Homo-oligomer: A and B are copies of this chain.
Amino acid sequence: MQFVFGHFADERKEGVILMERIRSTEVGSHVGERIRVAGWLHSLRWLGSINFLILRDGWGLLQIVTEEEDDLEPLVSTHSGLESVIAIEGRVVTASQAPGGIELHAPQIEVISAVTETPPLVLSKRQLKAAPATQLDHAVVANRHPSRRAVFRLSGVAMAAFRGCLLSQGFTEIQSPKIVAAATESGANVFALDYFGRPAYLSQSPQLYKQIMVGVFERVFEVGPAFRAEPHDTARHLNEFVSLDVEMGFIEDHFTVMPVLQAVMLAVSSAWREHCGPELTELEIRLPRMPEQIPSLHFSEAKELIYERYGVDGRSESDLSPQDERWLGEWAWQEYESDFLFVTGYPTRKRAFYTAPDPLRPEYSNSFDLLFRGMELVSGGQRLHRYEDYLAVLNERGLPAEPFVDYLQAFRYGMPPHGGFAIGLERLVEQLTGIQSIKLAALFPRDLNRLTP
């Protein structure tokens, strides 16, 4: 369905009535007809007696074939090279050897924007060969490659599915401020800015605001940027990322929250299956597999399992290493054919101050991580909800209460037991696609050395 389509001003002036433009993905239903398509000159093989041109539009690729060199004259006369924007009228024919099984014959080409310089990256090959750093430096152009575009289409569909799933469960979408007066999680790793002469920071997470908003709507979610000034330049670090945040009230404990997360992951996966067929093929992606209930291990069970199965004794440690996570992912796959695994009950002292302890074993917390293919994808849990508990924990951890005075109002004036989670969008897409770096899952990543494009 195409809502509007523009022809171009020059033609309008001449009073020409143009055909409606067809998207590349819709051409298959017009076999035998003469149609009009438009997009970018993705590749050109000029052999003389037969010539192949591939047009890329916002949705896919389409092959155009002609034996008449004269048909290419509009490109020649305007010096139009690859990435030129063109419109083509032609006849749709089935052709088993063409990509998608159809191609356009007898093309009439019109140049809309001629590109006369060679793009900084080769976009016309099946694979984008440039090194990751080169792709990122030239993201403005590199993101046009079908393999890069597929990554970002998967991101877009994931956001839509995340929201759709939550809206259908009575959640309300919020947008919390990103300029804040105090660091959320800790004083380190925060970007500082000058706010009309006062110190301010970029929000590391909407955590405090989404909890406050449980007092308003009970169930809220947010999709927005989060900022971490971590001075590490690794394949796992992004200094700005997209956080998919959820928070809900009137829970029993973290085990009430986990099914909501499972429903979200199922919705996202289903949406990819339904809407991203070409992208899954392009990137050779296997969709996540998930049993009816995602398996779940307590942190202490996880450490025990690693000791028994892999002979590494980390039972006195208070966190899981990346290797631990990979082993646990392996175990979940072998035992349950599950790409996902919940680990619950992380040691309380390693979690943020707002984390609710397990009432029976307060050294462990009512928290969880969701591992996806052996890597932490989501963190969540039950939060403290009593004012006195917050005062006590801030005091215990040597944190000043003053920066949290507004936040604490929420608890002072009545909050139910509540909890939630946050999914890192780039991490999700990185793990799904298996790309080499989380930076390649961001449209225009921000890292230690990269502030452009």
Contacts and interface: CB of A to CB of B under 8 A. Distances in A.
A293 to B, nearest CB: 13
A111 to B, nearest CB: 10
Interface in A14-46: 21, 23, 38-41
B23 A170 contact: yes
Interface string A77-121: 000000111000000000000000000000000001101010110
A140 B38 contact: no
A53 to B, nearest CB: 14
A321 interface: no
A300 interface: no
A212 to B, nearest CB: 5
Contact of A163 (B12, B163, B200, B240): B163
Contacts of A415: 85, 113
Contact of A416 (B1, B113, B175, B217): B113
Interface string A218-261: 11000111010101000000011010000001111100100110
B225 A178 contact: yes
A453 B406 contact: yes
Given A140-B406, A224-B224, A240 B179 contact: yes
Contacts of A406: 140, 452-453
Nearest to A453: B406
A143 interface: yes
A38 B250 contact: yes
Interface stretch (A61-69, A339-347, A371-379, A440-448): A440-448
B40 A414 contact: yes
Contacts of A260: 3-4
Contact of A451 (B181, B223, B386, B451): B181
Nearest to A169: B3
A282 to B, nearest CB: 14
A214 to B, nearest CB: 8
Nearest to A263: B3
Copies of this protein, total: 2
Interface string A127-170: 00000000000101101100011001101100110010001111
The CB with the most chain B CB atoms within 10 A, among A263, A417, A425, is that of A417
Interface string A283-308: 00000000000000000000000000
Contact of A85 (B84, B200, B414): B414
B417 A112 contact: yes
The CB with the most chain B CB atoms within 10 A, among A41, A144, A216, A452, is that of A216
A451 B179 contact: yes
Interface of A: 1-9, 12, 21, 23, 38-41, 57-59, 83-85, 112-113, 115, 117, 119-120, 138, 140-141, 143-144, 148-149, 152-153, 155-156, 159-160, 163, 167-170, 172-181, 191-196, 198, 200, 202, 209, 212-213, 215-219, 223-225, 227, 229, 231, 239-240, 242, 249-253, 256, 259-260, 263, 359, 385-386, 406-407, 409-410, 412-417, 425, 442-446, 448, 451-453
